[in-house]
Amino acid sequence: MNGLVLLVLSITVLVLAYVLYGGRLARCWGVDPARKTPARELEDGMEYVPSSPSVVFGHEFASIAGAGPINGPIIAAMFGWVPVLLWLLLGGIFFGAVHDFAALYTSVRNKGKSIGSIIELYVGKTGKRLFLVFVWFFSILIIGAFADIVAGTFAGFDSGGGPVKTNAQVASASMLFIAAAVGLGFLVYRKKTSGLASGIIAVDLLILCIVLGLFFPIFLPKGIWLPVVFGYIFIASVVPVWSLGQPRNYLNSFLLVALILAAFIGVVSTRPEISIPPFTGFNVDGNLLFPSLFITIACGAISGFHSLVVTGTVSKQIDNERYMLPISYGAMLLETLVAILALIAVGSLARGGVLPQGTPPVVFATAVSGFLRQLGLPDEVSFSIVSLAVSSFVLTTLDTVSRLGRLSFQELFGGETVEAPHNAGPSGKPFLPALRRFMAAKPVSALCTLAPAYLLAILGYRNIWVLFGAANQLLAALTLMACVLFIRKSRRGITALVVPTFVMLAVTYSSLAITAGTKIGLLLEGGFKPGVDGVQLCIALALLVLGVLVGLSCLAKFFSKNQVNGAAGDSP
């Protein structure tokens, strides 16, 4: 299969899906441009801020398009390019984009509430607590997997101790990139720099970081970079978002657009051949097509992480309901396109049906830089730039997830007050016990989230990627269930949500059960490794139990005849 033909066909299908299926959903759910959004109704200049659709789209896309759409397809290519392509297109159109649109629609129609608060509203406080524990657990998995990927991308020495100059250049540029984001945040939010001026400054800073990184590489082993990365995300998770997170997203959007354009131009110009078989089998090295394919490819097809982004921030910035479709459904389809470019990239590097070696980000960077080399750009420069872009996406995801994990932990311990009249303060008002106040403190909640993630990162992302994928897909299923409850109550059509919900529940429960069963089998046979297998078994069982409990709570509410009280939701 020629990569250009595959790309053109995919773009055609995605565009038609957006116009036809996305438009149908908008009509079915009653998207109303005349209705006030939470950003307009509750505008406070901090969280609820009406923003231009281009700004919100950029924030949404930069937040969701991390390493996921690159990692998943490249790993899943072991099954052949046809299963990967089919799941990306069908999953992206009928599962992922529907999930993102439904989550944003539900949040906007419920005063911009987060998905956890929506579950509390329509299921109850117990359901919310279980969901918060699940999100915290899920955040730990993402941080562990992605931090290991970043540290591997920065590693200045290979397994034999030889220097890897391109990795060292990427590491240097990335560190400068963080410093540039801090400076840009100060200019934008303290000095009130205009949009045009900040854009020009951002591009100049990016060019400067890349040039300095190329000439002044930092050679450090992966073992040093891992704690450095965790030190950075600890700071990023507790400082004000305007000082680091938001300017990083803004800077990252320029790199993201550049990377997509570079990959697109490269495929169009070089027309690479996909040199992997269309289909290799239902069982590849012990990995079953079902459910492994649907777990390995999370981002790009369907990702529960997106629900945390759209209901946590995006729903509070939408200026008009007409923009919900492009910002959610459209952004997801664009991420699917990135995943298809990753599939073309790994296929172009395969030789004799054998997949290339190296981490997925390195494979993707190698392929895209190869495309650009044929267009005249020096290989070392193009590889460093592409690798920097990929590592920046992963760091952006780490920024966001570290903060979400910390917030979930804080809300779990500090979300309620406890009556204690016998030892209350002078005002007699209820207050949190000392232990809960301590656990809800920013630094403590951040440490409680990052410490177990660090231990998982030591295992390596490949040892936890399946668990991350299962948790991500289960989060998507639980989000869809919450959306079904709201949309059903508002007397809108839920048909588009029912099939994705039950398919993802079947996929995730099967995957977690298989993982747990495999590890228990190793334990009984004597081949059990506590450091790896033990951790995987505990996580799989914990996720399975939490997922079943939350799922049962949602199903019980769905079949209950009692109406939800106090809902701030939609009118019929």
pLDDT at 489 (0 to 100): 87
The one-character DSSP state at 163 is: B
pLDDT at 189 (0 to 100): 63
pLDDT at 531 (0 to 100): 77
pLDDT at 420 (0 to 100): 36
d(CA 294, CA 216): 41
The residue assigned the tokens 């769905």 is: 558
pLDDT at 571 (0 to 100): 46
d(CA 55, CA 44): 18
Residue stretches of the chain with pLDDT short of 70: 45-46, 188-196, 198-199, 241-242, 245-246, 414-432, 561-572
**Contact present, 310 and 102 (Cβ < 8 Å):** no
pLDDT at 383 (0 to 100): 77
Residues near 53 by beta carbon (within 8 Å), at least 6 away in sequence: 319, 320, 323, 326, 327
pLDDT at 191 (0 to 100): 64
pLDDT at 283 (0 to 100): 93
CA distances from 423 to 414, 419, 438 (A): 19, 9, 18
The dotted CATH code for 3-268+289-415+433-559 is 1.20.1740
Using DSSP, state whether 354 is helix, strand or coil. strand
pLDDT at 1 (0 to 100): 85
pLDDT at 426 (0 to 100): 45
**Contact present, 523 and 451 (Cβ < 8 Å):** no
Q: What is the identity of the amino acid at 53? A: P
